[in-house]
Structure 1
Amino acid sequence: MLDKADFFSLYQQLGLKPGCTFDELKVAYRRRVAELHPDRRGADADPADAARLQELTAGYNAASAFHRRYGRLPGGLHQAPRAPMPRATCMVQPAAAVPARSGGGRARRWLGLALAGGLVWLAWNGGVFDRGGEVGGGPAPGRPAAATPSTPAGASTGLIGIGTAAATVRALEGRPVMENPQRWDYGPSWIAFDDGKVSDWYSSKLRPLKVASAHPPPPEPATR
Structure 2
Amino acid sequence: MLDKADFFALYQQLGLKPGCTLDELKAAYRRRVAELHPDRRGADADPADAARLQELTAAYNAASTFHRRYGRLPGGTHSAPRAPMPRAGRVAQPLNEEARPARGSRRWLWLALVGGLLWAAWSSGVFDGTVDVDGSAAPGRPVGATATAPTANLAGLIILGTDAATVRALEGRPVMESPQRWDYGPSWIAFNDGKVSDWYSSKLRPLRVASAHPPAPEPAAH
* TM norm structure 2: 0.38
* TM norm structure 1: 0.37
